[in-house]
Amino acid sequence: MQFIMTRRAMTRSLATLALIGTALSGLPGAALAQTSLRLAVPDPIGSSVGRAATRFSELVEEKTDGEVTVEVFPDGVLFGGDQNAAINQLGAGSLDGLILASSVYASFEPRMNAISLPYLFSDYDQLQSYLAGEPGDELMASLDRLGVKGLGFFLRTFRNVTTRDTAITTAEDFDGVTLRTPNNALFVSLFEALGANPTPMAFSEVYSALQLGAIDGQENPVEVPLNNKFAEVQGQLNMTQHVADSFLLALSNGAWERIPEEQREAVQEAADEMIEAHNSEEIAAEQDIITQLQEQGMQVNQFADGELARVQEIARGIYPQFEEQIGAEFMQKSLDFVQQ
């Protein structure tokens, strides 16, 4: 008898809770978000990409009146720091969203390598126009076959080489320098052509390798050595500006389809607004970051007169190696775009 009474009491309680829940759902602000997404980024939350992700999250919540929310997970925690694995997970739908460099996507979509052709872009205006223009649209569309919905490219500042002791001011200064590069054939070919010893390595291993002297240096936009305290193990910041790169904000197709159709335009607007603001801030912050690295003890080096042109000539000599991989038509489209 006691058991029957308890079941009845429980039934009445559950019914009461259901009624209360139904009533509360009609109150302003009481409804939970209809769609909650998890966005993975490879770097700390205070980094450039972390701040961009946070701003995107804020804008999505604002523009959808809270019906769509985005939770940011920094430091690669959702994909174990393996960036290639992250793209596989995104395409499979086990990641909702991801911000990652276009140079990593190049392992899955070779046309992405066009962005990183060395010394393709003369300045940031040209890079932004490319990413927002017809070439960028074609690259974005290429993600469909991976099961990925691209929301937009946003720029990174040009990549530069840091070294422990070697100041790079001439083409010959690359000779014999062991540099960590991404696991990307274009980067490897570039530094081989310049006479360096490129060493592909997971980024999570770079600080230790620099500290132990297993490698002499690395190459990245200047915010990377700042955020990762490379000034502790690197003495030279060489303003080579050899390669452009960009970040790509993307969702899995499954995550995109979970967003109510009437809210998708708002999510895209959030991405567009974040990208426009981020690009301006990123360019403006570059010199401040260089100053901070100087204050931390790094020496900033520029190419000597005439040396940039020599390095550019050597670097552009690798273009034919990647024509078949990128596709002759898309490579020519890219070259024509920057020569307009």
DSSP string across 20-76: HHHHHHTSTTTSPPSEEEEEE-SS-TTSHHHHHHHHHHHHHHHHTTTSEEEEEE-TT
CB 29 within 8 A of CB 35: no
Dump pLDDT digits (tens) for 70-104: 999 999 999 998 899 999 999 999 999 999 999 88
Confidence of residue 66 (pLDDT cuts 50, 70, 90): very high
Helix, strand or coil, per DSSP, at residue 95: coil
* 304 torsion bin: left (phi>0), alpha (psi -120 to 50), beta (else): beta
| CATH class name, domain 160-243+290-338 | alpha beta
Look at residue 184 and tell me whether its pLDDT is greater than 80. yes
* Partners of 98 in the β-ladder: 40, 250
Q: Give the pLDDT mean for 131-143.
A: 96
SS (H, E, C) 141-182: HHHHHHCEEEEEEEECCCCEEEECCCCCCCHHHHCCCEEEEC
Beta strands at 68-73 and 160-163: parallel, antiparallel or unpaired: unpaired
Q: What confidence score (pLDDT) does residue 271 get?
A: 98
Higher pLDDT, 10 or 187: 187
**In the prediction, which pLDDT does 50 show?**
94
Average pLDDT score, the chain: 91
Determine the pLDDT at residue 33. Answer: 60
- φ, ψ dihedrals at 169, nearest 5°: -125, -10
pLDDT band for position 158 (cuts 50, 70, 90): very high
Domain 33-156+245-286 and domain 160-243+290-338 have a common topology: yes
Q: How far apart are CA 269 and CA 262, in angstroms?
A: 13
Correct CATH for 33-156+245-286 of 3.40.630.10, 3.40.50.2300, 1.10.150.120, 3.40.190.170: 3.40.190.170
Look at residue 318 in the predicted model and tell me its pLDDT: 96
Q: Phi/psi at 246 (nearest 5 deg)?
A: -150, 160
pLDDT score recorded for residue 5:
44
Split at pLDDT 50, 70, 90, the class of 107 is confident
- Cα radius of gyration (the chain): 24
The pLDDT tens digits for 211-224 are: 999 999 999 999 99
* DSSP designation for 216: S
Q: Helices (H), strands (E): how many in the chain?
A: 14, 11
Q: Are 119 and 127 spatial neighbours (Cβ–Cβ below 8 Å)?
A: no
Contact 288, 145 (CB under 8 A): no
pLDDT digits (tens, 9 = 90+) for 278-302: 999 999 999 999 999 999 999 999 9
Question: In the predicted model, is pLDDT for residue 14 greater than 60?
Answer: no
Q: Is 263 exposed, middle or buried (0-12, 13-18, 19+ CB in 10 A)?
A: middle
pLDDT 10s digits, 245-290:
899 999 999 999 999 999 999 999 999 999 999 999 999 999 999 9
State percent of the chain over pLDDT 70.
Answer: 90
Contacts of residue 149, Cβ cutoff 8 Å, sequence gap at least 6:
143, 250, 251, 252, 253, 255, 256
Separation CA 104–CA 332 (nearest Å):
22
Q: What are the extents of the domains in the chain?
A: 33-156+245-286, 160-243+290-338
The answer to whether residue 11 scores a pLDDT higher than 60 is no
Question: Which carries the bigger pLDDT value, residue 43 or residue 236?
Answer: 236
pLDDT in tens, 20-65: 444 444 444 434 568 999 999 998 898 889 999 999 999 999 999 9
Q: Please indicate, yes or no, whether the overall pTM of this predicted structure exceeds 0.85.
A: no
In the structure, what pLDDT confidence band is assigned to residue 133 with cuts at 50, 70 and 90? very high
